[in-house]
Amino acid sequence: MDRSILFFCVILAVLAVHPSAQGQPQKCSKLLIRKEWRTLTHDEKTKWVGAVKVHHPSSFGHHDNTVLGGKRSLYDDFSYSHAAVGDRVHGNAYFLPWRAFFLSPSLLQAYTDMRVDRWYTYLFDTSLRQTCGYSGPTPYWDWTRDHANLFGAPVFEDSAEYGLGGTGDCDSSPEADCAVTTGAFAPSAGTFELAWPVPHPLRRNLTLLTGWFPHERPQNRTLGPDYVRNVTEQTTGDFFRFQHAMELLHNHVHNFVGGDLAGDCPKAIPEDDCQGMADSFTPNEPLFWLHHAQLDRLWSEWQHHHPSNFAAFSGMPLAPHNLTDPRYDAEAHADHQMPFDIQSVPVAPRRVFDTESWPLCYRYTNEE
């Protein structure tokens, strides 16, 4: 295992058991800033993109080369972690705390938890800083500002230095696999080969209508500010109902972007072998982190909207009607230890309620 990663995991293990040597609550020495992508300078975007593209060797020494192809990076580790523990955090109340939404088309109705997402995105951000030298603001994508024209969103800039690129090439040849051809993650802009589930370039297929669902409506129908405001105002104290509404937002962005973010298997994998794999590698897409940071921001805003929201956590709605609904988890509790493969020791949801307290120590800005 890479020494820096091993050191980081050891520190997390110590802190998870002993918040401080004196038994007093640890305090943040400073708060890191999370900013909307379009408010970052070109230099800030370039440095974040550069950190994501740093190909430090994988720290997963226990992964067989037949699983990750032999050539893998630290970035691939996060996709593999998502796959390794997905069954334990999808479809239950620990989704948001673990990472902040990991659904794919095959899991559209699953009930998950924002707290998991919060810690997972925090780990990724920490990795960029500790291992890849990044020191700028953490970006998020506020897609409510682009819901009327998602295709023209600033996150799809084509700059080879700082752009995340646009839709992929899906039609130029029978072998075309929606590989991204513009922006800093295109093959022409330098190496960014993904190892999971097989070696392949970043893939993307922007579309409002996927054709995957009967009676489908456009993917941007829930992404406007009015929908978010109504959800925030109508779910006071009810974490279950709030999270269920957030799942729609989460899913629609994943499906709109398509490709890796939608869990669409690379063409190199036989269709039969792809069954059950779709939820595993969505973090391959760099937009994943901006999207999930946005969901985390909306959860944070909901927490501060009303005092009864802040520490609300439940696997049941306040007024349940069908107790046999598989989304319900009457035993979900804030002290459950959420697993993170080797990226971190287990962490309880209670530890991530407050983003401005230790160990998270970050806050969101909302400047236009």
Residue type, 144: T
The answer, as to whether pTM is greater than 0.75, is: yes
Give pLDDT, residue 57: 58
Give pLDDT, residue 4: 41
Give pLDDT, residue 81: 65
The 3-state DSSP composition of the chain as helix, strand, coil percent (nearest 5) reads: 40, 5, 50
| Top-confidence residue, 346 or 86 | 346
Give pLDDT, residue 166: 98
Give pLDDT, residue 71: 53
| Top-confidence residue, 225 or 324 | 225
Could you report the per-residue pLDDT of 43-82, keeping only the tens digit for each?
Answer: 999 999 999 998 665 554 444 433 444 456 678 777 776 5
Across 122-126, 218-222, 346-350, the highest mean pLDDT is recorded for: 218-222
The correct answer on CATH 3.40.50.410 for the domain covering 3-149+208-364 is no
Q: With bands split at pLDDT 50, 70 and 90, how would you rate the model's confidence at 340?
A: low
Place of tokens 């530890």: 351
Give pLDDT, residue 271: 82
| Top-confidence residue, 347 or 150 | 150
Average pLDDT of the segment spanning 132-159: 97
Average pLDDT score, the chain: 81
Per DSSP, helices labelled H in 221-286 are 225-234, 239-257, 271-274
Least confident range from 9-23, 182-196, 216-230, 300-314: namely: 9-23
CA atoms of 63 and 220, how far apart (whole Å): 38
* Residue 90 reports pLDDT greater than 50: no
Give pLDDT, residue 67: 45
Give pLDDT, residue 114: 59
Kind plus residue range of the DSSP H or E element containing 175: none
Give pLDDT, residue 50: 95
Find residue 285's DSSP bridge partners.
Answer: none
Give pLDDT, residue 74: 72
Yes or no: say if 144 and 153 are a contact pair by the CB < 8 Å rule: no
> CA distances (Å), 268 to each of 175, 196, 199, 202, in order?
9, 12, 9, 14
CA atoms of 346 and 26, how far apart (whole Å): 19
* Residue 16 reports pLDDT greater than 50: no
Across 17-26, 109-118, 196-205, the highest mean pLDDT is recorded for: 196-205
Least confident range from 32-41, 269-278, 313-322: namely: 269-278
Return the SS3 of 230: helix
| Residue in 246, 255, 167 with CA at minimum distance from that of residue 213 | 255
| Residue in 165, 157, 205 with CA at minimum distance from that of residue 182 | 165
Task: Name the percent of the chain lying above pLDDT 90.
Answer: 53
Sheet holding 362-364, edge to edge: 138-140, 32-36, 362-364
CA atoms of 274 and 256, how far apart (whole Å): 20
- Domain range summary for the chain, segments of one domain joined by +: 3-149+208-364
Give pLDDT, residue 195: 86
CA atoms of 14 and 92, how far apart (whole Å): 28
| Peptide linkage before 359 cis (omega within 30 of 0) | yes
* Residue 111 reports pLDDT greater than 80: no
* Residue 84 reports pLDDT greater than 70: no
CA atoms of 189 and 52, how far apart (whole Å): 13
* Residue 7 reports pLDDT greater than 50: no
Return the SS3 of 278: coil
Residue 313 phi, psi dihedral angles, 5° rounding: -155, 120
Residue 19's contacts (CB-CB under 8 Å, 6 or more residues apart) are 25, 26, 358
Q: With bands split at pLDDT 50, 70 and 90, how would you rate the model's confidence at 338?
A: low
Burial classification of residue 302, based on how many CB atoms lie within 10 Å of its CB (0-12 exposed, 13-18 middle, 19 or more buried):
buried
Least confident range from 257-271, 323-337, 339-353: namely: 339-353
Give pLDDT, residue 101: 29
